[in-house]
Amino acid sequence: MVSLGQWQYNKGEYINNLQDKINDRKHLSPVSMQELPHDLEDQLFMPINVSGTFDTEHHFYYDNRIVNGLAGYDIYTPLRMDDGNTILVNRGWIRQGRTRQDLPEFDTETSRVSFKAIVDKPPSKDFMLAENVHSKLTWPMVLQYVDTQEIGEMLGYELMPMVLRLDKDAEHGFHREIPALNLDSAKNTGYAFQWFAMSAALLVIYIVVNTKKRLQNQRDS
């Protein structure tokens, strides 16, 4: 229980630091890819200007995205940047078709593009979600989670480990609601103190019970 309390406390501290990072960086001027810090954690939420060409043959539909109560997909398209690297771009949300098999269609610019974006982590795999299982590669492809290494293997070329979230005012995207992260560190701190309190209570009970047993044994002897 002490370890669970420590985990919740550390999570609360992480949330505080993450919120500070978001607040500090949302007003920064965009930088180029070459100007980004080397460490991925230091790159998060940095505004960036990029140029390149979309891989119009390969689109990924990130499943089960809900906007205003409607089911849909976040669309990820690889961008071959001018520096030779390729990165996934979250272009925004589109509504699901009439059936699960009826994937909505959209247009993608085939010539060179330039736009502003935000550096972000790929959506991680929730333990409740199914694997991205595809018996054969067909395009476009529906994903339950976004793993850049796994997707790179499907594509046959390497992807950068982070993704870009298209700026809400940039072209070449769909519906975008840049979410304000609801990060409640107080909740985690509260959970931490609950675990610590339970641990302390159990320790007191353990001491009392064992003290009584020891005294009883002394009387019996």
Structural domain boundaries of the chain? 1-24+184-221, 31-166
Residue type for 48, please? Answer: I
Structure tokens that stand for 190 in this block? 């509260």
Please give the sequence-ordered ranges of beta strands (E in DSSP) within 129-217, or none if there are none. 141-143, 163-166
* Measured CA distances, 158 to 21, 84, 163, 193, 210 (Å): 28, 11, 13, 44, 61
**Residue 141: strand pairing partners:** 60
Q: What 8-state DSSP symbol labels residue 33?
A: G
Q: pLDDT (tens digit, 9 = 90+) per residue, 70-103?
A: 999 999 999 999 999 999 999 999 999 888 888 9
**Those residues with Cβ within 8 angstroms of residue 109's Cβ, 6 or more apart along the chain or in another chain:** 54, 172
pLDDT recorded at residue 130: 59
Q: What 8-state DSSP symbol labels residue 28?
A: S
**Those residues with Cβ within 8 angstroms of residue 24's Cβ, 6 or more apart along the chain or in another chain:** none
pLDDT recorded at residue 192: 42
Please list the ranges in the chain whose pLDDT falls under 50.
Answer: 4-5, 7-12, 14, 182-193, 195-196
pLDDT recorded at residue 191: 42
**Residue 72: strand pairing partners:** 65, 95
**Those residues with Cβ within 8 angstroms of residue 83's Cβ, 6 or more apart along the chain or in another chain:** 33, 34
**Residue 60: strand pairing partners:** 76, 141
pLDDT recorded at residue 99: 84
pLDDT recorded at residue 190: 47
pLDDT recorded at residue 211: 72
